[in-house]
Amino acid sequence: MYLTKDIPLSFGADALGLMFLVLTVSMWVMDLIFSIEYLKHDRRRVRFYVFYVLTLISMTGICLSRNLLTMYLFYEMMALMSLPLVLHDQTKEALSAGRKYIFYSMGGAFAGLAGFFFIYIYADTLTFTPGGVLDMARLAGHEDAMLIVTMLVIIGFGSKAGMFPLHAWLPTAHPVAPSPASAFLSGNITKMGVFVIIRYIYYLVGPEFIRGTWVQYTFLALTMLTIMMGSMMAYKEQLMKKRLAYSTVSQVSYALFGIALLTPAGFTGAMMHVIFHSLVKNTLFETAGAVMHMTGFKKASEYKDLARKMPVTMWCYALVSITLVGVPPTSAFLSKWYIAQGALSSGTGVITWLGPVILILSALLTAGYLLSVMLTAFFPGDEYDYPCLEKKEPRITMLLPMLCMAAAAVIFGIFPGPVMKIITGIADVLFV
């Protein structure tokens, strides 16, 4: 099937695409199960589910597309299809958040489109090929222009992944969506930005083309800044869902940082972080959603003593929080370990040690904004009257996805073998 005379729409599955697809679909199912109870009494839930399915379809398209154009089409489609999820409540706040979401998405995607036009000139094909498709002979003399365009693409698609400078939609749009949707937005739709950037850097431009150039350094600097900024803003934020959204800003940039290092270890760490963060962030948003659903609490300070009212929910929260901080033997520790090793062996000057330092600092801030909530929930202080508490645990359909994902987040840390195998397979192809 051809879109124009010489640009085909082509689909195909490779290990990377399949990995993202499996991740997306499984998280989608989890959020779906969660939403059954959450949206039970919502009169607009049919509309929600229609667009929820359409979002999945467009994401499947992204994962399975084999060339840039196909991917771009589905990428734009995803932005549009997920918009109604943000708008769902139709409050004034939701409307303005939706507007912001679509502006940033479209703006970013247009920046990406510029790259598409440029690559098209200097390459024979737009089919994803490990190592890149650029024709260096044809490119000779235009390297600088190509670098500028590459930077533009990274920033543009980085918008979806919540990378500075186009991250601002994320903390606005995620909290206003209904919790299952914000979980999916935060946990998986942001990952599509990561995916597209991987496709662009590793499969079109080629990592060798930007290694050691200002593009790599700028990309690294932007991700490092985003990591710190997201964590710090989350630390200062009181609204729980907004805090989690800022946390996403920070954590997705871990993955981007790993990708930008252009080393096997960095890439492996990034891929692991994509998976593990997805598990963690979906769980976190679901716990926040469950708390909102059962008690109406939205602020971090209101979580005090919640562990007695909702023990299972808060245990899920505790496990994934510890995971996200990166405490062994949980999973996110491993991804951070690999990213740090990637940074130390990347030969990028000051970033070799500054990167790990930033990771550590951000992990401390993560502890500050997630663990503090956990601690007050479990250790509220002695003025609480324990026998007079009523249980507010949500129903099993809400608990089940949280439990599954929290368990997975921990178990993958202890037995990372299968995940490692898949990722090493991908990395081996990319770094010959």
Partner 1 sequence: MLIALCAGPMAAGIIAYCIGRVNRTARDYFADAVAVIETGLFIWLALAYLGGSAPSFSAPYICGLGISLKFDGFRMLYGLIASFMWAMTTVFSREYMAHYPRTNRYYMFFLMTLGATAGVFLSADLFTTFLFFEIMSFTSYAWVAHDETKESLRAAQTYLAVAVIGGMVLLMGLFILYDIVGTLRMDEIYDALNRAVLNDPSVKGRIYAAGACMLTGFGAKAGMFPLHIWLPKAHPVAPAPASALLSGILTKSGVFGVLIISCEMFRFDPGWGLMILIFGVITMFGGALLGIFSINIKRTLACSSMSQIGFILTGIGMQGLLGSANALAARGTMLHMMNHSLIKLVLFMAAGVIYMNLHELDLNRIRGFGRGKWLLTAVFLVGGLSISGIPGFSGYVSKTLLHESIVEYMEEIPAASSYGYFKFIEIVFLVSGGMTLAYMTKLFTAVFIEKGEEGSKEQEEAGAMAVSYDTETEGHRGTYVNLQSAAALALSALVLFVFGICPYRLMDRAASLGTVFMHAGEHGEAVDYFTFSNLKGSLTSIVIGIVIYFLIIRKLLMKKDEEGNTVYIDAWPKWLDMENLIYRPVLEKILPFVLAFVLRIFDRMADHIISLLHRSLLREVEPKRPLMYGNAFTHVLGAVMDKVVELLNRTVRRKSPKVINYEQKLAFGVEGMIKMSRYASRSVSFGLMMFSMGCIFTLVYLIVMLLIHISG
- Site residues, partner 1 (CB under 8 A): 104, 164-168, 225, 228-229, 232-233, 235-236, 322, 325-329, 334, 337, 340-341, 344-345, 353, 356-357, 360, 363-364, 367, 371, 375, 379-382, 386, 413-417, 420
- Nearest approach in angstroms of CB 361 to partner 1 is 8
- Nearest approach in angstroms of CB 368 to partner 1 is 8
Longest CA span, the chain: 77
- Nearest approach in angstroms of CB 322 to partner 1 is 7
Q: Work out the number of other CB atoms within 10 angstroms of the CB of residue 257.
A: 30
Give whichever of 188 and 341 is closer to partner 1, judged by the CB atom. 341
- Nearest approach in angstroms of CB 363 to partner 1 is 6
- Can you say how many angstroms the Cα of residue 343 is from the centroid of all Cα atoms in its chain? 20
Q: Find out whether 101 and 94 touch, Cβ atoms under 8 Å.
A: no
Transcribe 303-344 into DSSP letters: GTTHHHHSHHHHHHHHHHHHHHHT-TTSHHHHHHHHHHHHHH
Give whichever of 205 and 374 is closer to partner 1, judged by the CB atom. 374
- Nearest approach in angstroms of CB 302 to partner 1 is 18
List all residues 6 or more positions away from 340 whose beta carbon is below 8 Å from its beta carbon: 269, 355, 356, 359
- Nearest approach in angstroms of CB 386 to partner 1 is 7
List all residues 6 or more positions away from 177 whose beta carbon is below 8 Å from its beta carbon: 85, 86, 88, 89, 94, 185
Return the DSSP state at 123: B
Give whichever of 202 and 338 is closer to partner 1, judged by the CB atom. 338
Q: Find out whether 195 and 20 touch, Cβ atoms under 8 Å.
A: yes
Name the residue with tokens 């502006």: 103
Give whichever of 12 and 347 is closer to partner 1, judged by the CB atom. 347
Distance CA 73, CA 71 (A): 5
Q: Work out the number of other CB atoms within 10 angstroms of the CB of residue 78.
A: 24
- Nearest approach in angstroms of CB 354 to partner 1 is 12
Q: Find out whether 87 and 47 touch, Cβ atoms under 8 Å.
A: no
Give whichever of 227 and 291 is closer to partner 1, judged by the CB atom. 227
CA dihedral 243, 181, 250, 173 (to 10 degrees): -70
Give whichever of 24 and 253 is closer to partner 1, judged by the CB atom. 253
Give whichever of 53 and 360 is closer to partner 1, judged by the CB atom. 360
